[in-house]
Amino acid sequence: MGIQPLGQELYVGVMSGTSLDGIDVVLVDFSLNPPKLVKTYFLPYCASLKKDLLALHLQGENELHRSALLANVLSSLYAQAINNLLIVAEISSESIIAIGCHGQTIRHCPDSGYSIQLFNPALLAELTGITVVADFRSRDIAAGGQGAPLVPAFHQACFGHQTSHRIIVNIGGIANITSLSPEDIVIGFDCGPGNMLMDAWCFENQGQSYDDNGNWASKGESHSLLLEALLSYPFFSLPPPKSTGRDCFNLDWLRMHLNGTELPVDVQATLLELTVQSIVRSIQSYFPAATEIYLCGGGAHNARLVNRISEAFLEKKVVLTDQLGIAVDWVEAFAFAWLARQTIHKKPSNLPAVTGAKGERILGAIYYA
């Protein structure tokens, strides 16, 4: 292991999102301005773990026991990914100030007063020997907020511009947008499913975990009646602040709108268009004056999806967050390193205008090494 050079301020960020593809881990140096992404590491989920996690999104037998066991499994995998990251970076665990770990969302029910991100932070602290910051959403929900999205505060800190009105579009399992206007407060919200439904339908019908570059969707035709039926779901017309998850958008929800005569490839094309339209309509409705749109998350690798969004905004700059210094795959993990740092420094990291909370709050619980 290497010795940390003097002057560095190193944090680790860990993110495993609703796409359930695996674990993103980043090493970030906050001593620099802007902060520097030092190293990254990705650990994919195996099929059985993904299946077990998906099962916990629904009511079932012995949920508490299954959740506890899976929390320990996840924490062991997080530790493995973090330790591998540090080996690659040639950095000792003693050099890391803290880990910011989101956990794996299995239920997001802010209207009922809770959101569950599965993992065992005490075990992660034991396995890594590093202080862990976890449970970022609960305090915001306790203060009357949605507990999500949390990344807009990070977007403001790292991507804001003095003169340009920027929109950050994160297309993960769920798609969310952040408006960074030099003349207004930061606004952000979930706008609908991102990759989640496309991935699930592709797996069910093609046996592939995702539709590479949207190639399968590009072979089908979007059904306008089906699309409008999906977009008539009340969530899409709700004003922000709002957040959503797999509890709302899943294959059972999709099947309620199918009549059984649709070709699977056309359904895939329609689901891609659902993601496009939920993003495009949100920007057009709330931020028509924005001039720059930056895409990140796994959906930014879907060429068909990116092209459709670009076609809707020919008068705007539509590019990837790589142009702002953070590659599309690592923005959310980077954000949780930043959120951990805010907690360690006793600084608030929610934005009440985004989440609907009664005020700014210091988020997260600290498990010291």
* Location of structure tokens 């939920």: 278
* Domains with residue ranges and CATH for the chain: 10-147+330-367 (3.30.420.40), 151-328 (3.30.420.40)
pLDDT for 79 equals 98
Quick one: 192 exposed, middle or buried, by C-beta within 10 A (0-12, 13-18, 19+)?
A: buried
Give 15's strand partners. 24
- CA pair distance 329, 353, nearest whole angstrom: 26
What pLDDT, in 10s, does the model give residues 109-145?
Answer: 999 999 999 999 999 999 999 999 999 999 999 999 9
Model-level pTM greater than 0.75? yes
Q: Give pLDDT, residue 6.
A: 56
Write the CA distances from 290 to 79, 216, 295, 297, integer angstroms: 40, 32, 14, 20
264 near 207, Cβ under 8 Å? no
What DSSP character marks residue 62?
Answer: T
- pLDDT at 352 exceeding the cut of 90: yes
pLDDT value at residue 2: 38
Mean pLDDT of the chain: 95
Per 3-state DSSP, the chain is made up of helix, strand and coil in percentages (nearest 5) of: 45, 20, 35
pLDDT tens-digit profile of 305-324?
999 999 999 999 999 999 99
**Whether 355 contacts 115, CB under 8 Å:** no
Distance, in Å, from the CA atom of 92 to the CA atom of 89, rounded to the nearest integer, reads: 9
